[in-house]
Amino acid sequence: MTTRNTKQAWLDAWLQAKPIDLNACKCGGRAYRFVLLGAPGVGKGTVAQMMAERLGLAHLATGDIFRAAKSLPAASLSPALQEAIGYMQRGELVPDQTVIDLVRERRACLHWPAGFVLDGFPRTVPQAEAFEQLMRAENLALDGVLNFELPIETIVARLGGRRTCSKCKAVYHVVNMPPKVDGICDNCGGPLIIREDDRPDAIRVRMDVYQKSTAPLIEYYRSRNMLITISAEGTPDDVFARTCKTAGIRCGGNPC
Residue 144 sits in the site that holds ligand AMP (CB under 6 A): no
54 is catalytic: no
The single residue of 67, 162, 163, 169 carrying the catalytic annotation is 162
The single residue of 7, 67, 106, 123 carrying the catalytic annotation is 123
**170 versus 197: smaller Cβ distance to ligand AMP:** 197
Which residue has its beta carbon closest to ligand AMP? 63
Single out the residue of 38, 40, 115, 144 in contact with ligand AMP (rule: CB under 6 A).
Answer: 40
Residue 145 sits in the site that holds ligand AMP (CB under 6 A): no
**Rounded-to-5 percentages of helix, strand, coil across the chain:** 50, 15, 35
**106 versus 123: smaller Cβ distance to ligand AMP:** 123
123 is catalytic: yes
Residue 120 sits in the site that holds ligand AMP (CB under 6 A): yes
Note whether 91 and 200 are within 8 A (CB): no
206 is catalytic: yes
Specify burial of residue 5 (Cβ count, 10 A radius: 0-12, 13-18, 19+).
exposed
Residues 68-87 that bind ligand AMP (CB under 6 A): 87
- Determine the angle formed by the axes of helices 79-90 and 200-209, rounding to 10 degrees: 100
Residues 85-114 that bind ligand AMP (CB under 6 A): 87-88, 91-94, 99
**94 versus 170: smaller Cβ distance to ligand AMP:** 94
Pick the stretch among 58-66, 109-117, 182-190, 231-239 that binds ligand AMP (CB under 6 A). Answer: 58-66
Note whether 191 and 183 are within 8 A (CB): yes
> From the CB of residue 205, how many other CB atoms can be counted at a distance below 10 Å?
15
**38 versus 56: smaller Cβ distance to ligand AMP:** 38
* Beta pairing partners, 119: 36, 61
30 is catalytic: no
Cα dihedral across residues 126, 129, 135, 139: positive or negative: negative
The pair phi, psi for residue 26, each rounded to 5°, is -110, 35
Residue 146, CA atoms < 13 Å, CB-side half-sphere: 32
Sorted by sequence, the CB contacts under 8 Å of residue 79 that are 6+ apart come out as none
Residue 148 sits in the site that holds ligand AMP (CB under 6 A): no
Footprint of ligand AMP (CB under 6 A): 40, 61-63, 66, 87-88, 91-94, 99, 120-121, 123, 127, 197, 206
Tell me which residues are annotated as active site: 44, 123, 162, 195, 206
